[in-house]
Structures are given as structure tokens and as C-alpha cells.
Chain A
Amino acid sequence: MSQAVVQLAYILATVLFIFALHWMNTPATARNGVYAGVAGMVVAIAVTWAQPEVVNHAWIIFPIIAGFAVGIPLARVPLTAVPQRTALSHAFGGLAAGLVGTAKYYLWLSEGPENLTAFRMVAIIVEIILGYLTFTGSLMAAGKLQEVKWVPQRPVTYPFQNVINLLLLAIAVALGIALVLHPAADWAPRLFPAIIGLALLFGILLIIPIGGADMPTVIAILNSYAGLSAVAMGFVLDNKLLITAGALDGSSGLILAIIMCKAMNRSFANVLFGAFGQVQQAQIGGEAKVYKAETIEGAAQVLEQASLVVVIPGYGMAVAQAQHKVRELYDLLKKRGITVKFAIHPVAGRMPGHMNVLLAEADIPYTDLVEMDEINPDMPQCDVALVVGANDVVNPAARTDKTSPIYGMPIIAADKARTVFAIKRSKNPGFAGIDNELYFSDRTWMLFGDAKSVIGELVKQLSGGSGMH
């Protein structure tokens, strides 16, 4: 196949990928995006496979079959597990980049050191460092999200952590520079694995100090790295399709990471090196504050009288598997002519946009899922704010308390609503270990219990008072 056809096909694939992302701008056209993406991928694979230098077809067919065998079950995980699947796929992306970089280095070395130009060496070093650190870092992130036993959930910190991490990276880069200068020296083939080892280790150490609340940002950053390692592969292989597709992925990860950081009022550096979740335990003020509890019957009555109900879901809702009960409640209230909206904080859930997917799965129309910035001006008109499994995203301390670790984080203004019902499993503080002022406000009434059973009881009350409590 002539080079012109190959390049044309690669341009076509690039265009299809851009359309794939463009169509994601509204749910109405988003599925076309998937078809465009698949088409672009098929074109790219077919054209590459048809190149004359590809001769060992069995070596291609079997990995592809294996990819289907693993990929199809991975696409069927429950939606609560999508963050770990995503992290796992970043790990695979990083691994692929690292392996191809490694293969290319040894190949060029064996074919003759004149192949190892400074430019190619720089690209290879960048590719393997990014690729392998993304591999182990994403595996760690996936392990934390999946709550694998031997991966510590809580942030792990030790003295001089950041210094040690940066030193490791600096050593890897220094060794890389040595290789760029002397790519074919006697010691070079042995130095190369050392860089790989350092990158693998750095990936692990980078993620160890990061806690659960920061995972959405970390996943987005790793997404960006996975894209950039594909870009570096493009530089190594002189392939512009890899560069364009990798750049699209890299910029997507970057934008999502920025959105996540803004939503938490933190900087990249702070997320990566800040070891959140350490300091802020036990800051509860001197006086013992009392929760006011409400009964299911009372709450149901208030809900019936409302004209605007805003549900504020957090990841706790998904943990309690309460989405479907929430949808039943939504239906019942809607039937009574009550407007029900869902206020979605950007960091609700464990990856960007996660809460929307969880609610869409429960069959709640996406037109009733409202972004934080859009719902906040309406909160003073809201009769009932129902907080289900959310905590930090409704904590007014973010606005008022300069000593709070979440100070400055934009929040959903649940405290502006006329009445707040907060469902809470126990009287302990939430995920980040921060006490929540909202729960002690005079407008707030607590509904203690598991989110699924509390909402279930509310549904029972509202659907005809067959209550037997």
C-alpha cells in the first residue's frame, strides 16, 4: 500500500476522532461519537496491518482476540466500578507505550547504533518514563478505588516523601540524559532497565500519598499522562496519527483535571504533593453540638407540601445502592406536580461526571440533572434540599471557616434551602473527616439510617401510607 494511502487513511482517522469528541457535546448526538471513534479505529488498524513490513499475522490476530476476550467483560462492570476500569485502562495505555518504546530501543540498538539519534532517544526516554509511571500509578489508583486488600486506602505518608519522589524522578531523568548522550555505550542496554525500574517505582510512590477524595483529579491527570505517552510514541515512530490522537486524549485529561481542581479549590501540585486527608481530624469545636432528627412521617409530609425539591446526591448514595429508590421517590413527587431536580457537584462520585452516569442508569432523565453553578441561584426558592450520601460538597465551612481544609471549595448551597433533610448512616464525620456545620443548622433535620432504607421508607409513606412503623 502506498505511503499516500496510508497517510490519507491516518488523516481520515484523525478527523473521525475529532468528530467523535465533538459529538459528545450533547447527549443527543453522543452515540454518533462512538460510531465515529470505532470507524476511525478500524481504518487506522486496517491500514497499519496492510503495511508490507507487517508479516507475522498470527502475532497480531492472537493479541487482538485476547484483547476482545478481556475487553468485553471489562465493559460490563457495574457503573460504580467504572472509575477503576478507567484507571485500569490508563494502566494498559501506559504499559503499551512503555513496551513499544522498550522494543524500539533494543531493536534500533541491534540494527545499528546510528539509528539511535538524539531526537529518537529523547522521544524514547520520555515515552518509557511516562508510559511506565502511568502504568504503575494507574494500577495503584485502580487498586485504591477497587479497595484491593494490599493497596492502602488511606494516604500513606512518610518524612521527606516529596523530596524522595522528586529525587527518584530526577535520577531517572539524569540516567535518561546519559543514555541520550551515549545511546550505544556498553553500559547503555543495562542502564535502560534501570530507568524503567525507576519509572515504575515513581508511579507507585506518586499515588500512595493520595486519598480517596482526590481520586477524580488523579484519574484525570493519569488520563492526560496516558495520552501524552501515546504522543511520545508518535514521536518515536514518526507517526502523526499517534500524535494527534494522543494529544486529544492528553488535552481531555488536562481539562477534566482542571475542572476537578477548581471544584475542590486546589492546585495540581497540591493534589499530587499535598497528602490531603492527614491533618484535619478532630477539629470539632468545644461545645457538643446536637443533631435534630426527623421521623420518616414528618419528612414525607414536608416533601408533600413542597413545590421545588432539590436532591443532592453524593457517592454515599451509590455505596448504599440507593439510586433506584431515589428514582421511585422522584417519580412519586413528580406525580404530585412537584418539581424535582438533582444538584450535581463536579466531584460527586469518584471520577468526573460519575454521578450523572449513576443517576442516568437509575432512569432519571438527564434534563433534571443540574450542575452546581446552575442550581445555586435557585436554592433560596428550594423548599426541600434532600442530601443523600453527600457531605463535603454541602459543607458551609467551605465558605466561612478559613481553618477548614475544604475552605474555598465551591459548594452546593443546600443551607439556603427552606428545609434541609440530610440522610446519614451514623453520627460520624464524612469521607474527608471533616465535621459539617450544615447538619447543625436550625433548618436542617437529620434522617439517620442507611440511604436505601430511608428513601425506601419515604417512598412507602408517600405511595399511600401503608406504613407499619
Chain B
Amino acid sequence: MTPEAAPPALDFWSMLFVFVLSSFIGLGVIRRVSRLLHTPLMSITNAISAIAVVGSIIVAGGEYPLKIRILGAIALFASMTNIVSGFLITDRMLKMFKTERKPAAGEQS
């Protein structure tokens, strides 16, 4: 086990670096997000964290045993659902934020 342990350990540190730095970028950027938009923010970050799609594609599409691929395919379905609904609903909500109302032509409800 010891010879293999060396390269991943190096990887671990660079990944931890990436994690810590991107968390700080995240904190900095999110702190400035308008409070008006916290619900759309949550929807868009849902969609972005569905980047798990990348891992799912590799597991589902690889030359692996059937059971493994089934797990991957379900994961891919779940991530894809998040991507599609996350981005669509974010855009749908953002379209509603206007500075001025258009002339009161169409009365709703």
C-alpha cells in the first residue's frame, strides 16, 4: 500500500488548496449578491453544483459492470434534472424583477 500512497497524497494537498481558495472566492462573490436575489441565487447554485454530472457521465458511460453503470445513470439523471430545472427556474424568476411596471394593460388574476 505504501508505494501507491505517495502520489495521491500530493494530489490531496493540491485539491485541498483548490477547495480552500475556491471557498474564499465563493464567500467573497456571494456576499455581494443582492439580497433581493437570494432565491434565484439558491436555484442557480443548485444548478452549478449539479456539476456532479461530470462524475456521473464517467461512471455511467465507462466500460464498467452493469450495476456500476446503473448507479451512474441514476446519478446522471438526478444531476441533469437539477441542471435543467435550476437554470430554467432561475431565469424565470429573474425575468420578473423589473424596475418599472409596464403600462397596466394586462390585468392578472
Which residue numbers of A lie inside 8 Å of B, CB to CB?
A: 13-14, 17-18, 20-22, 24-27, 30-31, 33-34, 37-38, 40-41, 44-45, 48-49, 51, 53-57, 59-60, 62-64, 66-68, 70-72, 74-77, 79, 82, 85-86, 89-90, 92-93, 95-97, 99-100, 102-104, 106-107, 110, 114, 117-120, 219-220, 223, 226-227, 230-231, 233-256, 259, 321, 324, 331, 344, 346, 351-354, 356-357, 360-367, 369, 371
Q: How many A-B residue pairs have CB under 8 A?
A: 389
Closest CB of chain A to B92's CB: distance in Å? 6
- On whether the beta carbons of A233 and B44 are closer than 8 Å, the reply is no
A140 and B61 CA atoms in complex are apart in Å by: 31
A240 and B80 CA atoms in complex are apart in Å by: 20
- On whether the beta carbons of B46 and A242 are closer than 8 Å, the reply is no
Closest CB of chain B to A200's CB: distance in Å? 15
- On whether the beta carbons of B98 and A360 are closer than 8 Å, the reply is yes
Contacts of A244 in B (CB 8 A): 18, 22
**Are A68 and B18 CB-contacts (below 8 A) given A48-B57, A62-B73, A103-B72?**
no
- On whether the beta carbons of B18 and A243 are closer than 8 Å, the reply is yes
Closest CB of chain B to A231's CB: distance in Å? 6
**Are A54 and B61 CB-contacts (below 8 A) given A64-B76, A86-B43, A241-B51?**
yes
- On whether the beta carbons of B44 and A24 are closer than 8 Å, the reply is yes
**Are A25 and B34 CB-contacts (below 8 A) given A93-B46, A96-B78?**
yes
**Are A27 and B34 CB-contacts (below 8 A) given A89-B86, A110-B65, A252-B41?**
yes
Which residue numbers of B lie inside 8 Å of A, CB to CB?
A: 1, 4-5, 8-9, 11-12, 15, 18-19, 22-27, 29-65, 67-69, 71-101, 104, 108-109
Mind listing 29 A-B residue pairs with CB under 8 Å?
Answer: A17-B48, A21-B29, A24-B34, A30-B94, A31-B95, A41-B51, A51-B58, A60-B61, A64-B76, A67-B78, A68-B84, A71-B82, A74-B84, A75-B88, A102-B71, A114-B1, A219-B42, A223-B46, A234-B15, A237-B58, A243-B19, A247-B26, A248-B25, A259-B35, A324-B109, A351-B38, A356-B37, A366-B36, A367-B99
A95 and B76 CA atoms in complex are apart in Å by: 10
- On whether the beta carbons of A331 and B9 are closer than 8 Å, the reply is no
Closest CB of chain A to B68's CB: distance in Å? 5
Contacts of B44 in A (CB 8 A): 20-21, 24, 33-34, 37
- On whether the beta carbons of A252 and B84 are closer than 8 Å, the reply is no
Contacts of B31 in A (CB 8 A): 255
Closest CB of chain A to B32's CB: distance in Å? 5
- On whether the beta carbons of A249 and B97 are closer than 8 Å, the reply is no
A253 and B42 CA atoms in complex are apart in Å by: 8
- On whether the beta carbons of A366 and B61 are closer than 8 Å, the reply is no
Closest CB of chain A to B44's CB: distance in Å? 6
Contacts A34-B44, A99-B71, A356-B39 known; 6 new A-B pairs at CB < 8 A: A17-B48, A37-B90, A76-B89, A89-B85, A103-B75, A249-B49
Contacts of A27 in B (CB 8 A): 34, 36-37, 94, 97
Contacts of A38 in B (CB 8 A): 87
A142 and B15 CA atoms in complex are apart in Å by: 33
- On whether the beta carbons of A353 and B39 are closer than 8 Å, the reply is yes
A212 and B83 CA atoms in complex are apart in Å by: 27
A89 and B90 CA atoms in complex are apart in Å by: 13
- On whether the beta carbons of B81 and A103 are closer than 8 Å, the reply is no
Contacts of B60 in A (CB 8 A): 56, 59-60, 63
Of A26, A243, A321, A331, the most chain B CB neighbours within 10 A belong to A243
Closest CB of chain B to A358's CB: distance in Å? 9
- On whether the beta carbons of B62 and A96 are closer than 8 Å, the reply is no
Closest CB of chain A to B58's CB: distance in Å? 6
**Are A252 and B83 CB-contacts (below 8 A) given A75-B92, A79-B93, A100-B52?**
no
- On whether the beta carbons of A363 and B36 are closer than 8 Å, the reply is no
Closest CB of chain B to A76's CB: distance in Å? 8
Contact pick for B80, options A37, A66, A259, CB 8 Å? A66
A346 and B78 CA atoms in complex are apart in Å by: 30
- On whether the beta carbons of B81 and A74 are closer than 8 Å, the reply is yes
A356 and B41 CA atoms in complex are apart in Å by: 12
What residue in chain B is nearest A122 (Cβ atoms)?
B12
- On whether the beta carbons of B62 and A53 are closer than 8 Å, the reply is yes
Contact pick for A365, options B8, B79, B99, CB 8 Å? B99
- On whether the beta carbons of A363 and B108 are closer than 8 Å, the reply is yes
Of A27, A346, A361, A367, the most chain B CB neighbours within 10 A belong to A27
A90 and B49 CA atoms in complex are apart in Å by: 9
- On whether the beta carbons of B50 and A93 are closer than 8 Å, the reply is yes
A254 and B77 CA atoms in complex are apart in Å by: 26
A254 and B59 CA atoms in complex are apart in Å by: 29
Contacts of B39 in A (CB 8 A): 82, 86, 351-354, 356-357
What residue in chain B is nearest A91 (Cβ atoms)?
B78
- On whether the beta carbons of A117 and B38 are closer than 8 Å, the reply is no
- On whether the beta carbons of A93 and B45 are closer than 8 Å, the reply is no
A268 and B56 CA atoms in complex are apart in Å by: 32
- On whether the beta carbons of A119 and B97 are closer than 8 Å, the reply is no
